[in-house]
């Protein structure tokens, strides 16, 4: 996979929000490196669930339409200073 900019990539356990193309547009959620797990009919449903999970797990949410470029849309990852 290629990402939008160096150093700005989904990390392990980050949530990936994908928009599927085709007759029935859906939004899917997965964690980085995994196949899509959950599908939603609307963006609002998908982003609400992604936000809840990310907040509980202290991870980020990324969005992609092509699996090549990613945009971080929610940040909860805690960066350790140790």
Q: What is the pLDDT of residues 43-71, one digit of tens each?
A: 999 999 999 999 999 999 999 988 888 99
Distance CA 19, CA 10 (A): 16
> Which percentage of the chain shows pLDDT scores above 90?
57
Closest C-alpha to 50, from 79, 21, 30, 70: 30
Let me know if residue 10 belongs to a domain.
no
Let me know if residue 52 belongs to a domain.
yes
Let me know if residue 59 belongs to a domain.
yes
Angle at 5 between CA 72 and CA 20, to 5 degrees: 50
0.75 cut: is pTM over it? yes
Q: pLDDT: is 54 or 22 the higher one?
A: 54
Write out the residue range of the structural domain in which residue 69 sits: 15-74
Let me know if residue 46 belongs to a domain.
yes
Question: In the predicted model, is pLDDT for residue 20 greater than 90?
Answer: no
pLDDT band at 80 (very low <50, low <70, confident <90, very high): low
Q: Specify the 3-state DSSP secondary structure of 19.
A: strand
Domain count along the chain: 1
Dihedral of CA atoms 5, 46, 13, 57 in degrees, nearest 10, equals 120
């Amino acid at each position: 996979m290629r990402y939008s900019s160096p150093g700005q990539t989904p990390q392990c356990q980050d949530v990936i929000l994908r928009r599927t193309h085709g007759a029935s547009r859906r939004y899917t959620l997965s964690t980085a490196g995994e196949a899509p797990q959950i599908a939603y009919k609307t963006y609002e449903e998908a982003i609400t669930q992604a936000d809840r999970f990310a907040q509980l797990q202290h991870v980020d949410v990324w969005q992609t339409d092509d699996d090549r470029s990613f945009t971080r849309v929610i940040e909860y990852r805690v960066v350790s200073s140790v």
